[in-house]
Structure 1
Amino acid sequence: MKFSTIGTSWITESFIKAAKHSGKASLSSIYSRSEETAKEFADKNQADNWYTDLDLMLEEDTEFIYIASPNSMHVEHILKCIENKKHVFCEKPMAITEEQLNVVTIQAKKQGVFIFEGYRHLFTPNYQTLKDALPQVGQVRSVLLQYIQYSSRYDMYKQGNVPNILSKEFAGGALMDLGVYPLSMAVDLFGEPKEVDYFPVLLSNGIDGSGTLIVTYEDFNVTIMCSKIAQGTISSEIHGEKGTLTMDHLAPIQSLELYDLKSKETQELAKPQSDLDMVYEVEAFVKMIEENDNAYHDWLLERSRHVVSGLEKARKKQGILFPGE
């Protein structure tokens, strides 16, 4: 399948490499607002064409568009792609509010195209192993998930240059950039939560540099720690009455240990998987389109709805509002 891209960051380059590695998709063209950036990125990634006019790029004979623009621009770009009857693969978060997600969902169905939110960590083999092993811990009683990763962009912020990812204007912050990974995992594993509460550490511009998210379920809570202004070294764990699952990282899981409470033994469950871990979500996306799998598409969108709803509620309780809200 031929595709084009919106966005020229490292994540776009990773997607292009993963798509090529999968053998399922080939790059046709790229879009950037800057002519210099467009030319340079197209040459580096061997794109056939480059554009600074998005409407012109969308006239190309491509099957889907990969979107990795700033968070606040996702919905605008998704709707333009849908209008041109292009399938959409959009990096998380696909939308800022549940209302926005409803709009793009309705429009996608009207145009007969699929929209897909990029959660690379939820499509890897080791994550599937985690899901398969979950019943072995018995009744879940507590969960700790962390994505605490110091960002070099924070150094820019401290020098007075506010990057998109730490800007309210572009819907940045620790929760939207990193907290979305563990929250989407919690929703995928346990379903829609009863309640979501966020306790942020705000920077001087009112954006969250880090924070703790408490996700409430019937019989347990999920504690999520996320940060772009510190570096975590602890594991993530799921604690049950029969055992514990321990992950070295969420995106991707490279080590996954199962501790049995009765035998006191620990077993390593993780297997080697591709370093280009985005390849697995590329394969899932292309397969959905090729098989016209509407049921799978609807299920993915329902998961996305629960995630964006949780993010929105958590932010608004703390007064973290983005333009237009």
Structure 2
Amino acid sequence: MIKFGVIGTGWITDSWISAADKSGKWQLHAVYSRRQEQAEAFGSKYNCSNAYTSLEGFAADAGMQAVYIASPNSHHYEQSKQMLQARKHVILEKPATPTLSELDDLFRIAKEQGVYLIEGYRHIQEANFKQLERLIKQEKKLGQIYGASFTYASYSSRYTNVLNGEVPNIFSLDFSGGSLVDIGVYPVTFAVALFGEPTGQSYMPFICRTGVDGGGVIILQYDNFGVQINQSKSYTSAAPCEVYGEKGTITVNATTDISTVKHWNPQTKDTQELAGSYKKPEKPNVNMEEEATEFARIVEEDDTAAAAELEKISRIVIKVTEELRRQNKILYPADKE
């Protein structure tokens, strides 16, 4: 069992702890919060009595091997740096950092300290995403790729707060927020994991009253095709995801929680379901068990090759999103340092 601590006591941390427990590979060891009563109350739900309000003390806990970080985006770099320097493996919720320079620094420190930094992109660890990846990359089910359209647009209750004049963290420039770095990274990562680094990118966002993007359309350019991405936290779309090729079209129900992977054959006009089984997570949790299992395997087996592949994806995604933000003057404190 990998003993881990958590930074961040929101719902996503509850989901990670639940998934980690179900994987049988992780054991919650410590909780950090700025408030003692919050740390103790959160830990008590999981019979965890190690509660910290000091990051120094938290990092120095010799019984802790890894840390899951799900704090506001603007805190990711400094908190991860401190944990890595203390020789703790870090599972860092997406987006890892606002800028590529910060991410480069974290990966450098991780290598120096002999630990892993892994960004928590849960969706590319799903069994049905890996099935889609095999169909496209290995089995060449579509032949030459002509293009793709990926969607993740889901109205956020926090946007209601914005409309009411408030500035929640996820819609704040000071906290490195906005739709692109919150849910837009899901379809961007989807594209990068399937097709690699784009040769160019552009973004046509809707800028909300707080100065961050509420959503918009992204175009990723590849050598012989393009990928259109519709992502938003200020509106909802029910459109599926599709990949188009010379041998047909593959339709996927969504970029996360993939339950269907259907191939349409242009010659026979038949549609074939190619997805494997899918187990819907119990609410309010989200699907993180496959992620927890794989990340534990990487640590336990010291699988540097798998970690390097995830590192490559993380670097490309941050490079793309940073460029898209700069194009539209969506600048965070980290961009100005």
**TM-score where L is the length of structure 2:** 0.94
AA paired with 1:254? S
Q: Given the alignment of the two structures, is residue 250 of structure 1 paired with residue 255 of structure 2, yes or no?
A: yes
Percent of residue pairs bearing the same amino acid type: 40
SS for the counterpart of 2:268 is coil
Q: What's the offset of the Cα at 1:180?
A: 0.3
Report the count of equivalent residues: 325
Find runs of 4+ consecutive structure 1 residues off by over 4 angstroms: none
Q: Unaligned regions of 5+ residues in structure 1, if any? A: none
Counterpart selection for 1:90 from 89, 92, 109: 92
Further displaced range: 51-60 or 5-14: 51-60
What corresponds to 2:179 in structure 1? 174
What corresponds to 2:105 in structure 1? 103
What corresponds to 1:28 in structure 2? 29
Q: What's the offset of the Cα at 1:184?
A: 0.7
**CA displacement, residues 10-52 of structure 1 (integer Å, 9 cap, x when unaligned):** 1100000000000000101111112232222112233232111
What corresponds to 1:15 in structure 2? 16
Q: Unaligned regions of 5+ residues in structure 2, if any? A: 282-286
AA paired with 1:287? R
* Contact 1:168–1:322 under 8 Å retained in 2: yes
- For 2:122 and 2:47, how far apart are their aligned partners in 1? 24
- For 1:262 and 1:34, how far apart are their aligned partners in 2? 63
- For 1:324 and 1:128, how far apart are their aligned partners in 2? 34
- For 2:322 and 2:205, how far apart are their aligned partners in 1? 14
- For 1:256 and 1:302, how far apart are their aligned partners in 2? 26
* Contact 2:99–2:334 under 8 Å retained in 1: no
* Contact 2:174–2:333 under 8 Å retained in 1: yes
- For 1:55 and 1:101, how far apart are their aligned partners in 2? 21
* Contact 1:13–1:45 under 8 Å retained in 2: no
- For 1:282 and 1:152, how far apart are their aligned partners in 2? 27
Q: What does 1:95-244 correspond to in 2, within 5 Å?
A: 95-134=97-136, 135-244=140-249
- For 2:119 and 2:243, how far apart are their aligned partners in 1? 25
Q: What's the offset of the Cα at 1:256?
A: 1.5
What corresponds to 2:327 in structure 1? 317
- For 2:112 and 2:97, how far apart are their aligned partners in 1? 18
- For 1:125 and 1:205, how far apart are their aligned partners in 2? 38
What corresponds to 1:289 in structure 2? 299
AA paired with 2:249? T
AA paired with 2:49? D
* Contact 1:195–1:215 under 8 Å retained in 2: yes
SS for the counterpart of 1:324 is helix
Q: What's the offset of the Cα at 1:290?
A: 1.2
Q: What's the offset of the Cα at 1:191?
A: 0.6
- For 2:260 and 2:309, how far apart are their aligned partners in 1? 28
